[in-house]
Amino acid sequence: MVQPNNGILMPQFGLGTFFQPSDSVCEQSCLTALKAGYRHIDTAHAYNDEAGVGRAVKESGRGNMDHQQTLADRIRGRKDIEGDRRDAGTASIGLH
């Protein structure tokens, strides 16, 4: 674990979801990683995979995991991030 300046502990190792060929492939790769013990998924709005990530998190039963979106997403504004959270079907998204 690492502790950025915001004080939140974050896993050092995670699954990046950039350049997945489809939403269903993203869902399967995330689910496989979560079953293997990953607790950190690095995604971004530009990847257009929020729904696949969200379905994998739900199916895995690991609601207490860390889900990271990039700083570029934070800059887009809260309204857009709220839409990403809805697309992912999660209660919250951690921004680190």
Please choose, from the candidates 74, 88, 69, the residue with its C-alpha nearest in 3D space to the C-alpha of residue 14.
Answer: 69
Catalytic residue positions? 47
What sign does the dihedral 30-49-44-81 (CA atoms) show? negative
Question: 3's torsion region: left (phi>0), alpha (psi -120 to 50) or beta?
Answer: beta
Which stretches of 52-92 are assigned E, i.e. beta strand? 66-69
